[in-house]
A and B are shown apart, each in its own frame.
Chain A
Amino acid sequence: MRRALPVMAPGIGSFRKERSRARTKPRPREERLVETHCCYCGVQCGMYLRVSGDGKVFGVEPRDHDINKMKLCPKGVTAYQQVNHTDRLTTPLMRDRRDQPLRPVSWDAAFDRVVSEIQTIQAKYGADAFAVYSGSSLTTEKCYLMGKFARVALGTKHVDYNGRLCMVSAAGANKKAFGVDRAANPWSDMLETDVIMLLGANVGECFPVATQYFWGARDRGAKLITVDPRETPIARTADIHVPLRPGTDAAFCNAVLHVIEREGLVDEEFIAARTIGWGQLREKVREYPPERAGKICGVDPALIEQVALTWGRADKAMAFHARGIEHHTQGVNNCLTVINLVLATGQIGRPGKGYGTITGQGNGQGGREHGQKSDQLPGQRMIEDPEARAHICRAWGITDEELPHKGTSAVEMVHQAERGEIAGWLGICNNPLVSMPNTDRIARGYDSLEFHCQIDFFLSETCVRADVVLPSTCWAEDEGVSTNAEGRVIKYNKAAEPPGEAKPDWWIVCEIARRLGRHADKFGFGSAREIFEELRVASAGGLADYSGMTYERIEQSGGIFWPCPSEDHPGTPRLFEQSFAHPDGLARFHAIDWQHPAEEVDDEFPLRLTTGRTVAHYLSGNQTRRIDALVQQTPSPWIEVHPDLGYSNGDPVRIVSRRGSATYPALVVASIRRDTVFIPYHWATPVAANLMTVDALDPTSLIPEFKVCACRIEPGVAMDETMPPPVPPGGQSYDFSRMTDRQPSAPQGRGTGRG
């Protein structure tokens, strides 16, 4: 009675109006399971890929890994469908002018063009006129290589990565307060805590599998406090939910600490022994009584008192946050106010006591600590620190003069391109035409480039604007390590050969370096493992020390937490048990004032727009908008509005900000504040949420303020159309036609039952 899964285009068969072809496909006779992890969010769930005898990935099997205990979300279940997807790029694409279509070319022709453009641009305008923009969904080996490639092979200071759009605010705050940037505890610590506070984190949708830790804690009696302008699925059953106004997190946290200090619930002993700066902070939070914060945040002051007493009286408490408080012009400060609360009550460094940010990208942590960030070198070293520079120069065999200094951040680089300061661009593992704020300006930046090359495995909205597109591997076609939101290093294993002429990203980059000739001998890598071995040496002695890890050790364990400075070191699941990472071992308090967001509401734009994810899609959607099950769950975006605004479900609603406008179907929900509207950001123009968002940046982390800007809404005329994701020349686009009446019935998508 067994019938096989289709090895062909994932899921397409099921929605053709004909007898399901899948039913007649034979099941592969042989099958093996490859141990690996999911490619998507920062949880990095373990999974097995099912591989047929002829080497095709055709399915998934749950894996009882220490992180996820067999659990997967809908993205994880269907992740394997990327591997043999008909949309995959299988050959290099090129065009001579932007008004021509992309056409398939040989690798040699593509490399010749890339190399000559780099050389021409750098000769004409200087080394820094060529920029590298990378991503954190790459393995750590590739992230390390991109930083080295930019600085050593190109000699440019302009290198940055898409974590700049993700959690750099948390990274900045962690560095300031603790001296190191990593979540402080393994998630299993949650099972021992009494109170969890979750700020700006839609865990049920963005990190569904992490929910088991939060609810495992609740099963053992812990209280859950959620802070979010929307009553998200995890907030729905929380013990206390604080629906504050977007952009007011710092005022809220200051007021919570105000009450805790007033009630004498601070941990004086901990403050005296392990921190600096309490005096100034105490004065500062005294300026934030709940009545004042209540007005700023738009919530009942009694709710703030209740949160403060619940947290302050807890024996053990833990705080977690995500993009909701980080995507702000005061993103670093928001995170610091949470850390202040944790430190003032001594809730860190013990089982059940701790703090962490939940990284959004699979390798968000590993991707930001090995040198593709504009201001950092491998091992979480700062690029302007002479000692760090000396170490890396030794590891790489170059002189200090040859190592560029600090560059600019992701969004700034695109703006520099618009001004003509950057003329050439190599992008890998990102899709800024969907993911960066103020999309129209980003498009102008990319269109201003004299040369633009993009490396990807699907043709993204950014790829279609490029001069050269190079086809790379997806995560199942190469090996390498990734560091999850806990700071745990896990390993992806290779399950299949890349399709057509697609090549591993590291091979592509090394080949460009070899042909460019500058320090070509430093890019002679023949495998991901060889890059990892060099990364171990380069990270040695740094904060993020991987030197004691080997592929074998990582695979034999449930993953190793850095720092791991020697091969007999067990790794460090919990940080700050004895001391913090500043030279004196003490943590820093920061007295923070709440500021208005970059763009406040006014008569013309009276509502706040906030953006975020939905459970069926991931980041810019270049991967998930092609997977049938996920498109059926959530085919297109919507605008979430409160019932008081007078719209009905499905009404066309036009949203207008100072930067752009678009018309979406209304999803009318009582679970959002009436002064706030929400749009999920995974789709491209003309329904890109980022057409409206503001490109104002945090002064420290340079993260854009995705989570709040001013807007107005009005009755729309015609809905803007969701376009299928681009496909390679000759390919067939995803058929959206039968989806037009499938508006979501809830923020998590459309129900599959009746009604």
Chain B
Amino acid sequence: MTKKALFIDPGRCIGCQACVAACRECDSHPGKSMIHLDYPDPGNSTAAAPTVCMHCSDPVAPCAQVCPTDAIPIDEQGIVGSASEELCIGCGNCVHACPFGVPKLDLVEMLQSKCDMCYDRTSQGKLPMCASVCPTDALFFGTQAELMQKRPGVQAVDIFGFGDETVRTNNAMVAPAGKNLDRIPGGYSREPDSRE
């Protein structure tokens, strides 16, 4: 696969929140971060995990499918945008439909917003702000070949199982090569990795 994507590796995340601070700097949503940064095992570990939009490709963008006003745009690359300010009615359907818990709903503004892969940056050839600054490459933007060259011994996972549903995504999680995928957050699928 030659398309550039975000590769997320919670194993490398140091929880510094540079991505959160950087996301707030984006010209399209200043002062607001679209990234969820969780400390998933508080008390036992300093482990941290960033969640950005995975840009679901199959089914295409469940968030957009359930939107009653068609407010969520999808471009030809499969990038799923934030809800249009003009169309969004703040109903929150997308928040419930997203398998990864990504969209945020501002209850004061009654407006949804979510990670759009820094559309205004990537469309100009710049890296997304979060992946540019991530000190440890826990968020890596590039092709899978570039990832593998920098980081031997890993595999990319872009298929997730949720009960009977399988979700395929444009962005991918990074796991150690040979790792039993039962442990991948969000579930797993035994289908071979489409990127290989």
Q: Complex formed: what's the CA distance from A671 to B152 in Å?
A: 29
Q: Given A2-B120, A236-B47, check contact A73 B16 (CB 8 Å).
A: yes
Q: Complex formed: what's the CA distance from A373 to B120 in Å?
A: 49
The residue among A13, A215, A232 with the most chain B CB atoms within 10 A of its own CB is A215
Comparing A146-154, A447-455, A746-754, the segment that makes contact with chain B is A746-754
Q: Complex formed: what's the CA distance from A643 to B17 in Å?
A: 26
Q: Mark A635-650, 1 if CB is under 8 A from B, else 0.
A: 0000000010000010
List of A residues within 8 angstroms of B32 by Cβ: 14, 20
Comparing A175-183, A202-210, A250-258, A330-338, the segment that makes contact with chain B is A202-210
Nearest residue (CB) in B for A633 is: B17
Least CB distance from B12 to A in Å reads: 6
Q: Given A4-B30, A237-B11, check contact A751 B37 (CB 8 Å).
A: yes
List of A residues within 8 angstroms of B11 by Cβ: 237
Say yes or no for A314: interface residue by CB 8 A criterion: no
Q: Mark B36-77, 1 if CB is under 8 A from A, else 0.
A: 111100111111100100000000000000000000000000
| Partner pick for B38 among A13, A59, A77, A753, CB 8 A cutoff | A753
List of B residues within 8 angstroms of A649 by Cβ: 42-43
Say yes or no for A72: interface residue by CB 8 A criterion: yes
Q: Given A62-B127, A70-B132, A753-B101, check contact A5 B25 (CB 8 Å).
A: yes
Say yes or no for B15: interface residue by CB 8 A criterion: yes
Least CB distance from A222 to B in Å reads: 13
Q: Is the CB of B31 within 8 A of A73?
A: no
Q: Is the CB of A13 within 8 A of B31?
A: yes
Say yes or no for A233: interface residue by CB 8 A criterion: yes
Q: Complex formed: what's the CA distance from A261 to B108 in Å?
A: 67
Q: Given A4-B27, A70-B127, A753-B51, check contact A211 B135 (CB 8 Å).
A: yes
Say yes or no for B20: interface residue by CB 8 A criterion: yes
Interface residues of A in 1-47 (CB under 8 A from B): 1-6, 11, 13-14, 17-20, 22-23, 25, 27
Q: Mark B1-36, 1 if CB is under 8 A from A, else 0.
A: 000000000011011111011101101111111011
Q: Is the CB of B24 within 8 A of A11?
A: yes
Q: Is the CB of B28 within 8 A of A3?
A: yes
Interface residues of B in 118-165 (CB under 8 A from A): 120, 127, 129, 132-137, 150-152
Q: Is the CB of B42 within 8 A of A73?
A: no
Say yes or no for A629: interface residue by CB 8 A criterion: yes
| Partner pick for A748 among B12, B39, B127, CB 8 A cutoff | B39
Least CB distance from B19 to A in Å reads: 9
List of A residues within 8 angstroms of B21 by Cβ: 74, 77-78, 629-630, 633
Say yes or no for A755: interface residue by CB 8 A criterion: yes
Q: Given A1-B28, A670-B44, check contact A746 B109 (CB 8 Å).
A: no
Q: Mark A658-684, 1 if CB is under 8 A from B, else 0.
A: 000000000011110000000000000
List of A residues within 8 angstroms of B24 by Cβ: 11, 14, 629
Say yes or no for A722: interface residue by CB 8 A criterion: no
Q: Complex formed: what's the CA distance from A11 to B21 in Å?
A: 11
| Partner pick for B14 among A4, A18, A78, A211, CB 8 A cutoff | A211
Nearest residue (CB) in B for A752 is: B37
Nearest residue (CB) in A for B24 is: A629
Q: Is the CB of B18 within 8 A of A72?
A: yes
Q: Is the CB of A752 within 8 A of B136?
A: no
List of A residues within 8 angstroms of B137 by Cβ: 212, 215
Q: Given A14-B31, A233-B14, check contact A753 B36 (CB 8 Å).
A: yes
List of A residues within 8 angstroms of B17 by Cβ: 74, 615-616, 633, 748-749, 752
List of B residues within 8 angstroms of A629 by Cβ: 20-21, 24
Say yes or no for A60: interface residue by CB 8 A criterion: yes
Q: Is the CB of A71 within 8 A of B46?
A: no
Nearest residue (CB) in A for B108 is: A17
List of B residues within 8 angstroms of A234 by Cβ: 14
List of A residues within 8 angstroms of B20 by Cβ: 74, 629, 633, 752
| Partner pick for A73 among B39, B109, B135, CB 8 A cutoff | B135
Q: Is the CB of A76 within 8 A of B18?
A: yes
Nearest residue (CB) in B for A27 is: B27
Q: Complex formed: what's the CA distance from A93 to B150 in Å?
A: 54
Q: Is the CB of B135 within 8 A of A71?
A: yes
Nearest residue (CB) in A for B11 is: A237
Q: Is the CB of A74 within 8 A of B39?
A: no
List of B residues within 8 angstroms of A670 by Cβ: 43-45
In the complex, 18 of the A-B residue pairs with CB atoms within 8 angstroms, ordered by the A residue number, are A2-B28, A71-B18, A71-B133, A74-B18, A205-B16, A212-B135, A212-B136, A233-B15, A628-B31, A649-B43, A745-B39, A746-B46, A748-B17, A748-B39, A749-B15, A752-B35, A752-B38, A753-B38
The 4 A-B residue pairs with the shortest CB-CB distance in the complex, in nearest-first order: A753-B36, A14-B31, A204-B14, A746-B39
Which residues of B are at the interface with A, using a C-beta cutoff of 8 A? 11-12, 14-18, 20-22, 24-25, 27-33, 35-39, 42-48, 51, 101, 108-109, 120, 127, 129, 132-137, 150-152
